[in-house]
Amino acid sequence: MSKATKTTTAPKSKYARLTPKQWAEAEALWESGEVTLDDLAARFGKNRSVFSNHFAKTGITKGAKSEANKRRVAEEVAKAAISDSTVLAARIKETKEEHYKMATALAKLTWNEILQAKNDARPFSTAMNNLKALDNAMTVLKKAREERYAVLGLDRDDHVDENGLPELVISELTAEQVEALRSRDEDEIDTDVELTDGPPPAETTGEDDIVQEGD
C-alpha cells in the first residue's frame, strides 16, 4: 500500500506586487488620514518603505481628503438633523390636529345626547348609558394623546412650543415697588424741565416810587 503524499502549497511571495485594486485601496486610506505606514504594511503584507516611496512618487499626501470628508460628514449630519426636525414638527402638528378633531367630535356627541334628552322632555338619566360610553371614549382618547405626547417629547417641562402664545405673568406690586416707581417718575419730571434763554423779566415800579423828570 502506497503512502499518501502530502501536498503543500507554496507560500505567497513577499515580493508580489500589489494589484491596482489594492493600490487604490491603500491610496484611499492614506488620503483619508486614518492610517499610518505601519498600518498599511500590516494590512497588505509589505514593507512600509514600499508605500512611502509610492506615495512620494505619485504625489499622494496623507490626509489630503480628510477635511473634505469631515465637511461631507458634517453636511450629512446637518441634513439628517434638519430632516429629523422636520419630521418631528410634522408629527407634532398632526397629533395636535387629530386629537383636537376627535375631542371636538366627542364633545359634540355628548352635547347632542343632553340636548336630545331635553328636547324630548326626558330625564337626563335616560341618556346615562350613552354619556357613560362617551366618557369612556374620552378617557381612552386622553390616554392615547398622553402616550403620543410622551413619544414626541411634548410632556417635558423644557419643551418649547414655537407656535404657542407667550405667557403673560401678572403680579401685584408691593408698597415698596409702588414708591420706587413714584420716585422714579418724579425724578424724570424734574429732568424734563427746560430752562428758557432770554432777558430777565423787567422790574416793576411800586406805587411809592418817585420818578423825576429832567427840566
What is the DSSP track for 61-116? -TTTTHHHHHHHHHHHHHHHHHHHHHHHHHHHHHHHHHHHHHHHHHHHHHHHHHHH
pLDDT at 8: 47
Query: Which residue's C-alpha cell is 494590512?
Result: 43
Q: Return the pLDDT at 12.
A: 47
Distance CA 129, CA 117 (A): 12
The pLDDT value given to residue 171 = 57
Angle at 29 between CA 38 and CA 80, to 5 degrees: 135
Q: Can you give the pLDDT at residue 10?
A: 42
The confidence score (pLDDT) of residue 53 equals: 92
CA dist., res. 37 & res. 62, Å (int): 10
User: Residues in the chain with pLDDT < 50?
Assistant: 1-2, 7-13, 165, 168, 193, 195-196, 210-211, 215
Copy the grid coordinates of residue 119: 328636547
Which one-letter DSSP state was computed for residue 124? G
Please report the pLDDT score of residue 9 as a whole number: 45
Cβ-based neighbour number of residue 66 at 10 Å: 13
